Structure 1
Amino acid sequence: MTLDQLDRGQRATVLAVDWSAIAPDDAKRLQAMGIDAGARVAVAHRGVFGGADPIALIVGRMTVAVRRLHAAAMEIDPA
């Protein structure tokens, strides 16, 4: 399952990230915010337009907005 499929309010652990599917600058920013394998995340909100972009994630004590494309590159274990 990928992060873009996670329901609002549900928590998960990031198992792997396909960094090749994400632009290098965006990948650096995501890693700097702690989004990498092993991170615990939860979906706080989803955008209301079109493809529900962006997705607001809770990572630790931060809320981070990520694009649906980025979330689709992250394999997760919902728990």
Structure 2
Amino acid sequence: MTLDTFSPNIAAIIDGINWHNLKENEAHRLRSFGFEEGASIYVRHRGILFWRDPIVVQIGRMTIALRAKTARHIMLRPAENQDIGHG
């Protein structure tokens, strides 16, 4: 499942990122925020507009807003421990 379709209020693990489909500056930005395979992520909020932008996620101690067109390149799986991201 990709981040742009993942439901809010669910903890997840990043399974992979299609780096080659992202612009270089966007890929660099995601890497600097800690987006990498195996990282824990928590989907906080999705926009209510047609495009569902922005998608707000917590990764580590940071809260980040992403566009759906970027989030569609990030593959997730539900985390076994749903407590990540709370607190």
Q: Which TM-score applies when normalising by structure 1?
A: 0.92
> CA–CA distance in 2 between the matches of 1:58 and 1:30?
12
Q: Which has the larger radius of gyration?
A: 2
Query: How big is each residue's C-alpha offset from its partner over 1:37-58, in whole Å with a ceiling of 9 and x where there is no partner?
Result: 1111011111122211110001
Q: How many residues align?
A: 79
- 1:65 alignment partner in structure 2: 65
Q: Which TM-score applies when normalising by structure 2?
A: 0.85
> Structure 2, unaligned stretches of length 5 or more?
80-87
**Which SS does the other structure have where 1:76 is aligned?**
strand
Report the residue type matching 2:50 in the other structure: G
Identity of aligned residues (%): 35
